[in-house]
């Protein structure tokens, strides 16, 4: 029963985020930038994660001159913030990918870009490979779908990354 409640809460949080995206694209033609954390496990709000999120937000502000904050919230999935920019989606995605690959801990950032139709702009559209798994070089989505790695393996990687947080 606990798993069903958790799953329901996660889906509800995703629905709320999507609703905010869709509502904004109906009134604002600019590119949307969604910053969140890509964290396995139940803990999403510990101090190191907040520091990483703040660093990611600072990097976005440094690289996207007209970044305008729309909302910043925390839900069961962790902190997230939504911004607008006049940059084309492809340029914003290039910046997002650069930030995600800037240091080891930045691997835990998730910077999603949406055009003015709320359609996601993907790494593959830039000719980049899918994001790799935390544990092996296979695509992360594939390992998640197949349950290829134990929670212990993933948590061990996460613990090592936390030692590399940017300052």
Main-chain phi, psi angles of 58, to 5 degrees: -60, -40
Average pLDDT, the chain: 90
At 138-154, the pLDDT tens digits run 998 899 899 999 988 98
Do the Cβ atoms of 73 and 118 come closer than 8 Å? no
Residue 167 has pLDDT above 70, yes or no: no
d(CA 136, CA 143): 9
pTM for this one?
Answer: 0.90
d(CA 42, CA 158): 13
Beta strand extents in the chain (DSSP E only): 31-37, 68-75, 78-85, 109-114, 120-121
Q: How confident is the model at residue 84 (pLDDT cuts 50, 70, 90)?
A: very high
d(CA 135, CA 158): 10
Q: Of 3-7, 23-27, 154-158, give the lowest mean pLDDT range.
A: 3-7
d(CA 21, CA 34): 9
% of residues, the chain, pLDDT over 90: 56
Name the nearest CA neighbour of 73 among 84, 61, 82, 60.
82
CATH top-level class of 2-129? alpha beta
Residue 112 has pLDDT above 60, yes or no: yes
What pLDDT is stored for residue 95 in this prediction?
A: 97
Residue 69 has pLDDT above 70, yes or no: yes
The domain locations on the chain are 2-129
């Amino acid at each position: 029963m606990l798993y069903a409640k958790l799953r329901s809460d996660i889906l509800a949080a995703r629905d709320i985020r999507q609703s905010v995206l869709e509502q904004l694209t109906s009134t604002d033609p600019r590119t949307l930038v969604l910053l969140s954390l890509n964290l396995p496990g139940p803990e999403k709000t510990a101090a190191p994660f907040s520091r990483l999120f703040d660093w990611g937000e600072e990097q976005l502000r440094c690289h996207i001159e007209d970044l305008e904050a729309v909302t910043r919230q925390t839900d069961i999935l962790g902190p997230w913030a939504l911004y607008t920019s006049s940059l084309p989606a492809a340029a914003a995605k290039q910046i997002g990918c650069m930030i995600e690959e800037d240091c080891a801990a930045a691997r835990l950032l998730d910077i999603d870009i949406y055009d003015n139709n709320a359609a996601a702009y993907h790494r593959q559209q830039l000719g980049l490979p899918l994001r790799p798994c935390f544990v092996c070089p296979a695509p992360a989505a594939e390992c998640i779908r197949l349950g290829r790695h134990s929670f212990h393996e993933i948590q061990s990687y996460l613990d090592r990354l936390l030692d590399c947080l940017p300052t």
